[in-house]
Chain A
Amino acid sequence: MKKENLSPDEIYLKDERFRISYYFSLQRLMDSLRKIGLINPPLVTVRNGRFILVTGWKRVLACLQLSFASIPVEVSGVDDDLQNFLIAVHENLATREFSLIEKAEIIGKLKTLGVKKNEVIRNYLPLLDIPANSSFYELYLSLAGFEPELKEVIHKKDIPLSVLQIFSELKPEAQKLVLPILLPLGQNKQKEILEDLLEISRRENIGVENILQNEEILSIQGLEKLSPLQKADNIRSFLRKRRYPSFSRWKESFDSSLKKMRWPKEIALKHTPFFEDEDMSVTFSFKNKKEYEENVEKLKQMASKKEFSKLFR
């Protein structure tokens, strides 16, 4: 390892073979560099007569933005790419936690550098706090293969692995279409949309991207008066109905009967989940005998209506 001073321009940044991090803000680092300069020199190595960066991407990019004329660097004498990459991994590992996309980059690059699957599973997944099994290896590898814009959104929006696990089953064109729908939603609803899409796709033997081009979905997306969250929720309901048509019809008919009967809002009528049991329950609150009797009277009135028996199909 020897020290040198280089102009940041002399480092060939297009060679990203050792790069782990892509999506970061340089602002705080630039503030620090302005005040105290570059204290920890980046690590470079020489390939094809050019300096390429091993560690210190943020530092070099910040120095470039600040137009530093010269920066101190350490030059690695290690020829082996894997060894250099591991230096980069361990240096980062010592100081911070990797994001999900960074872990995916590492696994992807280990594969590119010729590390066998079993070795990655056995030696590197535990290092990255990933369960050491084949399915996690495959999952992270597929994340590494996502397009950069997609990775950036996933990184910035901190989309959880459980969602990405399903997301990764989509084709790239479907991923691009569905991502904006998912972003305003919470994790459970994100998973629900993805699962419904995949299962409709498999059952009806059509591509997810075709489902997303459905007229109703497009018209929901075109409604300017709706917020992104409202649009996402409406699309979710549309997909639920398509995934569970019989149950949805049953539920709609039940709700419609209640509506026709003008079921009193102050009395809650509950059926069991998915109408699996015949049992139903009513709940109301009351402060005194009069209120109690009024509610009981309302229930009697409901029972006398023709629609009432339709609740018990």
Chain B
Amino acid sequence: MAGSSYVPQKVYIEEASLEYPSTRQIIERLEGVPTEIIQNPQKIIQRLHDSQDWVAEGKRHLLLARQQGSFVKPCPCTPHYIGCNYYIINLVFNCPLDCTYCILQDYLSHPLITIFVNLEDLWKELDIFLQKREGAYLRIGTGELGDSLAVDHLTEHSKALIFYFRGKDKAFLELKTKTVEINNILKLQPADNVVISWSLNSFRIAKEEEKGAPGIETRIMAAKRVSEKGFKLGFHFDPLIRYSGWEMDYAEVIKLLLKTVDPLKIAWISLGSLRFPPSLKPLIKQRFPHTQIIYDELIKGKDGKYRYFKPLRLELYQKIVSLIKGCGGEEIPLYFCMESEEIWRKALNWSPKGKEDVEELLSPWSNQRNS
């Protein structure tokens, strides 16, 4: 879908989801796409199991369902590394893009792209959640178990979420994407507590390992448009991937980014290096037989996940940090995703004592930022 919006081959609608307005709206926006009403998706999932590549097959099918558990959860982060006190809203599971390194290939119980339609329950849950946290600042986003905007042309979640969070000043909403589905956002007035974020990588990684995602230049241009509309921006260089020539390639992207987008409009940039659970490796080998990224010096970290040997990670981070700072991004808050205190200290000359310190760094109300 690099240049076009996602359209599924078929839509499955759980019977219990039929009554929700969101279901009707999505179906209307998918006029001509076959639909089937089902009791539950187990049979469909079983059928997908028989396919050669069930992950790819799942992406071709959309499931409209009710979220029966909690929509809002703390970001699971990873054990033994420093988290950032982030919360996630699970409105969509899975993603039409097909990135080699994507954890969702292994993480989710089934590969159907699933949109939860009971938004009425989400608003109630969020009311209670925010009420309980009254007085505390919060960063929350939808881009963990799916791309925040990849199906926004069908769901218009961005509109609804920005409408909900506007004025709730202690909560900071982040919509994180690799796509350029920004039409809905461009129709809205910006809100001070909303950040639209893009995951970025080198041109080569984006081309070779982020199947279906728009190119880096296109993403940066979309970010520019959103920024010109008045929204704050975030960027995630994650996963940073080493290969012969990575330094020059990342420098190219960082230069382009900070030349195109005003650094003062950037709320934060996160850095994370390639990491994945051992169970994902055979799946990557099978689904992406030509990829080289899993054959670098990846060791098992304290959390049991594969990650680069520490000196290699440090080299990667120090270089990227110096590039960002050297290209006019000295004031942009930088943070690491799932890294150790040592990495923070050695790459940023500062280390948080825990996730609360990271949250403090990233809060728009932060003393650290304003000092």
Contacts and interface: CB of A to CB of B under 8 A. Distances in A.
Interface string A255-283: 00000000000000000111111100000
B309 A274 contact: yes
Interface stretch (B68-76, B117-125, B291-299, B327-335): B291-299
B287 interface: no
Nearest to A272: B302
A119 B193 CA distance: 57
Interface string B124-140: 00000000000000000
Given A244-B299, A247-B297, A202 B310 contact: no
Contacts, number: 46
A123 to B, nearest CB: 14
B33 interface: no
Contacts of B292: 202-203
A259 to B, nearest CB: 21
Contact of A244 (B286, B297, B301): B297
B299 A247 contact: yes
A227 to B, nearest CB: 30
Interface residues of B, number: 19
A273 to B, nearest CB: 7
B50 A276 contact: no
Given A118-B50, A276-B302, A277-B302, A203 B309 contact: no
A202 B295 contact: yes
Interface string B293-320: 0111101111000000111100000000
B342 interface: yes
A202 to B, nearest CB: 5
B301 A203 contact: no
Contacts of A135: 286
B295 A203 contact: yes
Contacts of A247: 297, 299, 309
A18 B342 CA distance: 64
Contacts of A272: 302
A274 B311 contact: no
Contacts of A278: 342
B89 to A, nearest CB: 32
Most central of A118, A199, A276 by chain B CB within 10 Å: A276
A67 interface: no
A247 B298 CA distance: 10
B308 to A, nearest CB: 9
A199 B293 CA distance: 11
A274 B50 contact: no
Contacts of B52: 134
B309 A246 contact: yes
B314 to A, nearest CB: 11
Contacts of B85: none
A250 interface: yes
A309 B295 CA distance: 32
A22 to B, nearest CB: 30
Nearest to B308: A246
Nearest to B301: A276
B340 interface: yes
B283 to A, nearest CB: 11
A246 B300 contact: no
Nearest to A165: B282
A77 interface: no
Interface string A68-80: 0000000000000
Interface string B223-255: 000000000000000000000000000000000
A274 B300 contact: yes
Nearest to B49: A133
A200 B292 CA distance: 10
Nearest to A247: B309
A246 B312 contact: yes
Interface in A165-200: 199-200
A245 interface: yes
A149 to B, nearest CB: 28
Contacts of B342: 277-278
B310 A274 contact: yes
A113 B118 CA distance: 53
Interface string A32-56: 0000000000000000000000000
A200 B297 CA distance: 11
Contacts of B286: 135
Contacts of A274: 299-301, 309-310
A6 to B, nearest CB: 46
8 closest A-B pairs by beta carbon, nearest first, are A203-B295, A274-B299, A199-B295, A247-B309, A202-B295, A244-B297, A246-B297, A246-B309
Interface of B: 49-50, 52, 286, 292, 294-297, 299-302, 309-312, 340, 342
6 contacts: A246-B311, A246-B312, A247-B297, A250-B311, A274-B300, A276-B302
Given A202-B292, A247-B297, 13 more contacts: A133-B49, A203-B292, A245-B297, A246-B309, A246-B311, A250-B309, A250-B311, A273-B299, A274-B301, A275-B309, A275-B310, A276-B299, A277-B302
